[in-house]
Structure 1
Amino acid sequence: MAQQVASTNADSGEDWKKGLTIPPKDTRYKTEDVTATKGNNFEDYLLKRELLMGIYEKGFEAPSPIQEESIPIALTGRDILARAKNGTGKTAAFAIPVLERIDVSKNCIQGMILVPTRELALQTSQVCKELSKHMGVEVVVSTGGTNLRDDILRLGATTHLVVATPGRILDLSRRSVAKLDQCIMLVMDEADKLLSPEFQPVLEQLISYLPEDRQILLYSATFPVTVKQFKEKFLKKPYLINLMDELTLKGVTQFYAFVEERQKVHCLNTLFSKLEINQSIIFCNSVNRVELLAKRITELGYSCFYIHAKMQQSHRNRVFHDFRNGACRNLVSSDLFTRGIDVQSVNVVINFDFPKNAETYLHRVGRSGRFGHLGLAVNLITYDDRFNLYRIEQELGTEIKPIPPTIEKSLYCA
């Protein structure tokens, strides 16, 4: 089965794109997550003119709260432990100071941004390239699942900043291809995931290649105990930023629909027909269910892509790129797609399968309502999910309400 499931009805053509409304750059449509600022401007940080040009050309008008808190401290060279919600501008919060501190006259790796997934690496490197387009900074992305020889060739040329997944860049460091002895900045995005048991030993080995006077910046929405242990071992008097007075985004309205397992597809069809979906992501708890559901959605007559970790990397890249560019309205995904992926036109997230823990729920729901815009999360809850629903509400300090007969469009559409 192909990674793209094509629909046969009119919805699969180009017509639906005419109604695709990218949220406007206007604070009237944004929530406090990104508008409750101190009123700073990017010029206040005395950034290089070329970097400012990239910032404004990217469409950034003024710093968000996490950017206000993070950028000036990071520019001093101090370690940072930052906790902020998904979709509030974390990528620029670390990318801007990293790019500012790079000296393009030196042909060496001076900054490294580590992320847990290949899709996030591609997205983050693209943001860095766009911000630094006038600076002459050479950004290289290096991830598993791609040709090692290509990475060796890229890193053999001038490289100032590497965006990578941990396993591949450690392999290249061991081969002395990626020389990190002058890499003075290490950023860990989605740090809670990077410090999970599968990644932490790799992280600690990577840090051994860095110079003693390196700067480490950690960013995430959730900080489990492993982050505290890492902080005590590797960070030097880190500056703590916590913008998490509440965990879920203010602009995301959350509902649940109590259904039997056999009713889920019918319920999904009803949601598709009643909601004003710009783009949606539908989450399942297993790879097999992702593919089966994508097939069923197509049979119902809706355009649909799917993505999961067992697909070839080239297919994953194409699906992610095409969905982000608006080639399809709906994407069925495993939890591969919950980390940091930024598609601003997604205004609806549907948990076809309810997640087992609060952390996964938080990251899934954070795919809608990006950067202060409005979003909707609908959870299909079976009898077996009822205790998980209650526990996740308690842990996140949020309320997931029963779905009403009619959902007001103003809750999730600008």
Structure 2
Amino acid sequence: MLILAIRFGDDWKKCLELPPRDTRMRTSDVTSTKGNEFEDYCLKRELLMGIFEMGWEKPSPVQEESIPIALSGRDILARAKNGTGKSGAYLIPLLERIDLKKDHIQAIVMVPTRELALQMSQISIQLSKHLGGVKVMATTGGTNLRDDIMRLDETVHVVIATPGRILDLIKKGVAKMDKAQLIVMDEADKLLSQDFVVLIEDIISFMPKDRQILLYSATFPISVQKFMSKHLKKPYEINLMEELTLKGITQYYAYVTERQKVHCLNTLFSRLQINQSIIFCNSTQRVELLAKKITQLGYSCFYIHAKMMQEYRNRVFHDFRNGLCRNLVCTDLFTRGIDIQAVNVVINFDFPKNAETYLHRIGRSGRFGHLGLAINLITSEDRYNLKNIEDQLVTDIKPIPSSIDKSLYVAEFHSRRTGVHEPTF
């Protein structure tokens, strides 16, 4: 690991290995800021180096609101859309506050899925690479427990975990949480649903009474409110959700019978300019059948669902993220926080039953203020759900036109048309 030695007076920014600038147009979800800079927060220079090398130039609205409050030690309840920079909003203050002189677990990030845990640990490692020895560990179910026990025998400062596995390690006396001052819950609505809330309550009982809790989510059902009133002390509330759907995502529906769906999908593939697409089905069986059909039609396609072996899931996720395949068919396993910048089209092959699932699914396109397209295949049985979801999200899902304007979802077309060649921040 390269740690740059920088003497006082050096122009340290000249030493950075910056990624290519992202010149795509961005929507106001990430650009309507107060104009702050990351340097305004008195962060360690080594952490700033990691931030800029991630390609993060200026804080997004949720980062502007969160970072100074989190650094002050106060609890936060933040409601912001997926794809607007929530992970940076909590990882930056978390890493800033790690004390390398202490060799115990100082912070824990809870997430609902294995894929999200791996993604968050990857971002944490990249952000902290110049900090000189922050030890980050991801631990999730479906992996070898003995490996985790051996790793916790050495120094770990930050744990990024799914609830079941970390609770198992805590109860075995291996993961000691008695000095962990910070717990973050990303996708808090899912973590505090019936599936997980008992585990979360249990985990918190092993932490110090004066710990700090940061909750981040796009939706806040009653379960979150109950948890907040029980565990958070005068939380600072952030609400960046005047409207629920991302501004850059254009939404259409195509009215079809069940038998016409594959033909309709084939037509979409031939007419759309897809960079990468995620296609959602409502069951694991349908995921596998559809992936097989798409491959038979001659298109590159991966699939992923919760019943697959973890090792295979990891490989599919890694390869799709690295652009080895254009289309990914999946279940709702993939709707939580998965951030793949190249995805510009989401297709609901099966329409979801509720607004929350719809919101998380279509949020896989249009990441970090970029443009995206959401296309929904609607059968007669889905009509009621379509109307319901439009009403709940106060959004307009239009009938699909015979040709779709590429400037709505293809970055270079928008740039040419508007003359935007520089990012808005």
**TM-score interval (norm. to shorter):** over 0.9
User: Is 2:167 aligned against 1:157?
Assistant: no
1:187 and 2:184 correspond? yes
Q: Quick check: 1:166 aligned with 2:163?
A: yes
Note the 1:228-267 alignment, pairs <5 A: 228-267=225-264
1:213 Cα deviation from its structure 2 partner = 1.0
| 1:340 alignment partner, one of 333, 337, 342 | 337
Structure 2 residue 401 is matched with structure 1 residue 404:
yes
Deviations, residues 268-313 of structure 1 (Å, cap 9, x unaligned): 0000000000000000000000000000000000000000000000
For the 8 Å contact 2:21–2:55, the answer to whether it is kept is no
Aligned to 1:61, the other structure's residue is in SS state: coil
Aligned-partner Cα distance in 2 for 1:297–1:74:
46
Q: Does 1:67 align with 2:63?
A: yes
What's 1:80 paired with? 76
- Residue 50 (1) aligns with residue 46 (2): yes
Question: What pairs with 1:93-242 in structure 2 (closer than 5 Å)?
Answer: 93-135=89-131, 136-242=133-239
The count of corresponding residues between Structure 1 and Structure 2 is: 392
Asked if 1:382 corresponds to 2:384, the answer is no
- For 2:292, the equivalent position in structure 1 comes to 295
- Gaps in structure 1 of 5+ consecutive residues: 1-21
* 2:123 aligned partner, one-letter code: V
Please give the secondary structure, in 2, of the residue aligned with 1:267.
Answer: helix
Aligned residue identity for 1:396: L
CA distance in 2, matches of 1:200, 1:326: 35
Measured in 2, the distance between the counterparts of 1:94 and 1:77 equals 12
Q: Matches of 2:170 and 2:197 in 1, distance apart? A: 16
Of 301, 315, 334 in structure 2, the residue corresponding to residue 304 of structure 1 is: 301
Aligned to 2:4: none
TM superposition shift of 1:371: 0.2
Question: Are residues 1:91 and 2:56 paired?
Answer: no
**Do the aligned residues in 1 keep the contact of 2:44 with 2:96 (CA within 8 Å)?**
yes
Structure 1 segments of 4 or more deviating over 6 A? none
Q: Which residue of 2 is the match for residue 7 of structure 1?
A: none
In structure 2, list runs of 5 or more residues that go unmatched. 1-18, 412-425
- 1:39-73 Cα offsets, whole Å, 9 max, x none, are 00000000011100100111100000000000000
- Distance in 1 (alpha carbons) for counterparts of 2:288 and 2:310: 16
Q: Which secondary structure does the structure 2 equivalent of 1:29 belong to?
A: coil
- 8 Å CA contact 1:23–1:344 kept in 2: the answer is no
The TM-score with structure 1 as length reference comes to 0.94
Partner of 2:346: helix, strand, or coil?
Answer: strand
Q: Partner letter of residue 41 of structure 1? A: E
Q: Which residue type is aligned with residue 27 of structure 2?
A: T
Q: Name the aligned partner's letter for residue 374 of structure 2.
A: A
Aligned pair 1:33/2:29, yes or no? yes
Deviation at 1:155, TM superposition (A): 1.1
Structure 2 letter corresponding to 1:67: Q
Deviations 1:138-172, CA, capped at 9 Å, x for gaps? 00000000000000011111100000000000000
Amino acid across the alignment from 1:59: G
Identity percentage over the alignment? 72
Alpha-carbon distance in structure 1 between the residues aligned to 2:101 and 2:353: 50
Mapped to 2, the partners of 1:376 and 1:32 lie a distance apart of 17
Per the alignment, residue 6 of structure 1 pairs with none
Give how far 1:400 is off.
0.3
User: Pairwise CA RMSD of aligned residues?
Assistant: 1.0
Specify the SS of the correspondent of 1:317: helix
Letter in structure 2 aligned against 1:42: F
Q: In the alignment, is the contact (CA less than 8 A) between 1:37 and 1:64 conserved in 2?
A: yes
**Residue 346 (structure 2) aligns with:** 349
CA separation of 1:188/1:56 partners in 2, compared to 1, >3 Å: closer, same or farther? same
1:24: Cα distance to partner?
A: 5.6
- Residues in 1 aligned to 2:150 and 2:45: alpha-carbon distance in whole angstroms: 31
Tell me if structure 2 keeps the 8 A contact 1:23–1:373: no
Deviations 1:213-236 (A, max 9, x none): 100000000000000000000000
- Residues in 2 aligned to 1:24 and 1:78: alpha-carbon distance in whole angstroms: 34
SS at match of 2:243: coil
Displacement of 1:23 in angstroms is: 10
Mapped partners of 2:121, 2:366: distance in 1: 22
Contact 2:304–2:313 (CA<8 Å) still a contact in 1? yes
